Amino acid sequence: MSGHYDESGFVPLNIAVLTISDTRVEETDKSGKVFKEGAEEAGHKVVDKVIVKDDIYEMRAVFSRWIADRRSMSLSAPAAPASPVATAPPRR
């Protein structure tokens, strides 16, 4: 399995980070920055980092672009504690 593992068995991932916020910009996106830096320090490659407003169509556009991207990647959306994404009860 050359190219995938080093001697320790570590497999670095290509990661895309999505921050959902109506108020954050690159300079104020603390959670996205922390997540990106942590992933890179752990040996992974962050291939994209995007901030979008809390709008389903904007989110879908980003996810669609990432899905179509030929690089395989792990997707992550760090959620703020007050984020409706993180705290909304499940719909019935």
Average pLDDT (5-12) is 76
Look up the CATH number of the domain holding residue 52: 3.40.980.10
Total domains, the chain = 1
In this predicted structure, the answer to whether residue 89 has a pLDDT above a threshold of 50 is no
6 belongs to a structural domain: no
Please report the pLDDT score of residue 7 as a whole number.
73
SS3 content of the chain, % helix, strand, coil (to 5): 35, 20, 45
Looking at residue 10, its pLDDT comes to 84
User: Which residue range(s) make up the domain with 38?
Assistant: 14-79
For the segment 28-75, what is each residue's pLDDT rounded down to a tens digit?
Answer: 999 899 989 999 999 999 999 999 999 999 999 998 998 888 776 666
Q: Is the pLDDT of residue 27 over 90?
A: yes
